[in-house]
Structure 1
Amino acid sequence: MLEQLRKALSTSAWHEGDTPPAVDYVLFFDGNTDEESIATNQRGDGRPAIADIYKRFQEIAKRSDVERILVGLHFDWDHEHYADSFPPAENVHIFTTASTSDVESWLADMHTDGVIKGWPYGKPKNAPEPSNGYSVLSVCWD
């Protein structure tokens, strides 16, 4: 899946200062065993294993009130250090009709720093718009 992720990221020209890209959660999590690639500061401090995080988002994606799930990459996503590995992620964006408190309840044991409305760093240029009636709720870790 890493090759598909890299291909998806190469479809747009990215410049320093751009809001980091967002990618489909399957592209980010499927085959990703790098425990340092998301919520690094909570690793070993209550954050589940990356495989368990992926399973949780797979369950959430099946909900009738969820349109899509994207992973927002970290500002250093294209650093040469990550050339042969999964890029680091900063947050997860859920397009949903559910409330913030409902989404927080879905993630109660994930050791997140909370759920906020909208895009924390602005909308990435490669991110689609949510359908009518859906909002972007972002799951944040440190």
Structure 2
Amino acid sequence: MLTTAEIAARVAGDRLPLLTLDEFFDGNVAEDSLAPNRWGFGRPTLAEIADRLRTLGERDDIAWIRIGLHDDTELDEATGDVIAESVLLSTTLPAAELEEMLDVEWLHSDGIVESDESSMEDYTDIPPVIGHHRVVFLVWD
């Protein structure tokens, strides 16, 4: 998992970098770093979520998966808390099909939300969106 110092080095203005699955999940033992309001109330472990996302990412209709950070990530501390807000996916899959594949009920997620141009303004390190792909957000509120 990246440290907040490594993340801070990639910030552009007030825009946070999107993290790869490896950058967020590998070595991350802070269960409350993703959907903290659902941890302890049935949300699966980070390892289980990472496995589910990595398996999904192997599909041809998924171009990439990234972790969107919450603005409460403690960038002013070298070893501060890294907090994720959502998972972004570049895909051609319909939202309902993607929700079923991810099993949003099992994830205790609020499901898939379609993006628009303004929803990407808070991020940097955004991979290209190719062909007929679009970006959707897997969210927990």
Please, what TM-score do these two structures have when normalized by structure 2?
0.84
Structure 1 unaligned segments of length 5 or more: list them: none
Aligned mate of 1:114, from 111, 130, 135: 111
Count of paired positions: 137
Structure 2 unaligned segments of length 5 or more: list them: none
Secondary structure, counterpart of 2:19 in structure 1: strand
Q: Which residue of 1 aligns with 2:52?
A: 56
Counterpart of 1:129 in structure 2: which amino acid? P
Counterpart of 2:110 in structure 1: which amino acid? D
Please, what TM-score do these two structures have when normalized by structure 1?
0.84
- Does the 8 Å contact 1:28/1:86 carry over to 2? no
Secondary structure, counterpart of 1:70 in structure 2: strand
Secondary structure, counterpart of 2:107 in structure 1: coil
For residues 1-142 of structure 1, the aligned pairs below 5 Å read 1-2=1-2, 6-7=5-6, 10-11=9-10, 13-15=11-13, 18-80=14-76, 83-84=78-79, 87-108=82-103, 109-118=106-115, 121-123=119-121, 124-142=123-141
Q: Percent identity?
A: 31
Change (3 A) 1:19 1:2: closer
Q: CA RMSD in A?
A: 2.2
